[in-house]
Amino acid sequence: MFSLSLITGVAACVLNASSVNNIEPALLLSVMTVEGGKPGSISINKNGSHDLGIMQINTHAWLKLISKSFFNGDERSAYAKLKDDACFNISVGAWILRRSIIFEGGNLWEGVGRYHSATPEYKYRYIDKVKNVYGQITYSQSIHQRNM
């Protein structure tokens, strides 16, 4: 169960990371929901890499770059911060998502898929999952706005 202060803090982090990276908050929230991580969570992959925190940042793909960019190469500190600091994790996840979209020539959904995997089978399955959650979130938002 999440505390109200954690939910409020995560919402503020999503809004900030969305703004900084020019990503719609509902899309970032959709990716975060599909990833299913929590602050402090570690998912161990078959290849030995770890997916960390709320946005499930993969250590094999990103830990070296993040440790060099923010921690003077200290991978232990980068690992702990990605795992335990939800706001930092969301900010990095949004940055990775933006890079993925750019890598895919600006194609939003291809970039969303690349966030998860470059392998087409996994990429397109992931796109479908995120589109489904995104549809639910945006539908709920439109209902809420009509009832105001």
Mean pLDDT of 6-20: 88
Domain spans of the chain? 4-146
Quote the pTM value: 0.89
pLDDT of residue 10: 87
Compute the distance between CA of residue 21 and CA of residue 14 in angstroms, rounded to an integer.
10
Q: Has residue 35 got a pLDDT over 80?
A: yes
Which residues, in sequence order, are bridge partners of residue 81? none
Q: Has residue 8 got a pLDDT over 90?
A: no
Q: Which CATH architecture best describes the domain 4-146?
A: Orthogonal Bundle (1.10)
| Tens digits of residue pLDDT in 36-61 | 999 999 999 999 999 999 999 999 99
Ramachandran region of residue 3, left (φ > 0), alpha (ψ -120 to 50) or beta?
Answer: beta
Query: Amino acid letter at 44?
Result: I
